[in-house]
């Protein structure tokens, strides 16, 4: 039964190799989940310019279109990175798509997610 001992020793060596590979992969994936999405912050925050948003801007609240996967914390970090301003409060709104007719069929346009960012008095963001 000497050939069984050789087979067992080979599998033990393979297991060591696999554990080394796992350690290397863990080192590479040391980033947190939130960091990956906020790294694309300039692409994810787009100012939502409407009449209502202009009135809110006068009061110190700014409206942005946001990527669907963003939450309040990610928006706050993205605003800090992109504009250098610390938001006091962030509100999220899911805007539904609009229904309209095309060739006698009801079609719905895609909705979007927007964030309303509130700043302290005196702080401003230059969107234009």
Compute mean pLDDT per 10 residues along the chain, 128 residues long, and list them. Answer: 64 63 61 53 79 94 94 95 94 96 94 96 86
Tokens of 24: 């290397």
pLDDT, position 62: 96
Q: Do residue 119 and residue 97 come from a single domain?
A: yes
- Which range of residues forms the domain containing residue 23? 1-30
Q: Quote the number of domains for the chain.
A: 2
Q: Do residue 15 and residue 76 come from a single domain?
A: no
- Here the contacts of 33-37 (C-beta below 8 Å, separation 24 or greater) are 34/73, 34/74, 34/77, 37/67, 37/69, 37/70, 37/74
pLDDT, position 35: 53
Q: Do residue 2 and residue 45 come from a single domain?
A: no
pTM for the full predicted model = 0.64
Q: Do residue 67 and residue 9 come from a single domain?
A: no
CATH number assigned to the domain comprising residue 76: 3.30.70.330
Q: Do residue 20 and residue 58 come from a single domain?
A: no
Q: Do residue 98 and residue 68 come from a single domain?
A: yes
Q: Do residue 88 and residue 122 come from a single domain?
A: yes
Q: Do residue 72 and residue 20 come from a single domain?
A: no
How far does Cα 118 stand from its chain's mean position? 19
Q: Do residue 38 and residue 101 come from a single domain?
A: yes
Q: Do residue 69 and residue 24 come from a single domain?
A: no
Give the residue among 73, 111, 71, 112 at the shortest CA–CA distance from 92: 71
pLDDT, position 126: 87
Give the residue among 74, 79, 82 at the shortest CA–CA distance from 62: 79
Q: Do residue 12 and residue 51 come from a single domain?
A: no
Q: Do residue 11 and residue 47 come from a single domain?
A: no
């Amino acid at each position: 039964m000497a050939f069984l001992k050789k087979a067992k020793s080979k599998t033990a060596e393979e297991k060591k190799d696999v554990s080394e590979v796992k350690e290397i992969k863990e080192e590479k994936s040391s980033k947190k989940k939130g960091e990956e999405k906020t790294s694309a912050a300039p692409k994810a925050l787009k100012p939502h310019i409407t009449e209502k948003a202009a009135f809110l801007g006068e009061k110190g609240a700014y409206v942005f279109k946001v990527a669907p996967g963003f939450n309040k914390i990610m928006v706050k970090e993205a605003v800090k990175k992109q504009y250098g301003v610390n938001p006091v409060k962030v509100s999220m709104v899911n805007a539904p798509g609009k229904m309209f007719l095309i060739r006698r069929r009801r079609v719905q346009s895609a909705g979007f997610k927007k964030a309303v960012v509130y700043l302290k008095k005196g702080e401003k963001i230059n969107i234009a």
